[in-house]
Amino acid sequence: MAEIFHLAAPEDWAAATRDGAVTDSTRDVKLAEEGFIHCSFAEQLARTAQRFFGDLDEVVVLRIDTDRLTSPLVTEDLYGTGEAFPHVYGPINLDAVIDVRVVSPHAL
């Protein structure tokens, strides 16, 4: 089993549990706007949390089993940074989410 992580604002996670799938791409951007959902590998998680959610008291960390994803997963460097990130090209089905933690973005 390979794992990736998705960070969500608490209200986006609440919407996902209500709607049955994760559809926030990143903070304040939806899948329909971006075309994919931003994710991170474990070693990228702390830096991503601080960069995009550092002003919040809490962030929701979703641990995702990539074998359970029903949408395509692509690892790519879309912005020419020299670092590849995992991107999910479609909604993240909730049964692929194997752990949920609410933490300070600075505690990762």
Sheet with 73-76: strands ordered across = 37-38, 85-88, 73-76
Sheet with 97-103: strands ordered across = 3-8, 59-65, 97-103
Question: What whole-number distance in Å separates Cα of residue 95 and Cα of residue 66?
Answer: 11
Question: What whole-number distance in Å separates Cα of residue 69 and Cα of residue 32?
Answer: 18
pLDDT in tens, 10-42: 999 999 999 999 999 999 999 999 999 999 999
Is the predicted pLDDT of residue 53 greater than 90, yes or no? Answer: yes
Tokens matching residue 87: 């991107």
pLDDT in tens, 54-76: 999 999 999 999 999 999 999 99
Q: Class for domain 3-103, per CATH?
A: alpha beta
**CB 37, CB 48: distance < 8 Å:** no
Tell how strand 21-22 and strand 24-26 pair up.
unpaired
| pLDDT at residue 79 in the model | 87
| pLDDT at residue 1 in the model | 76
The domain ranges of the chain are 3-103
| pLDDT at residue 3 in the model | 98
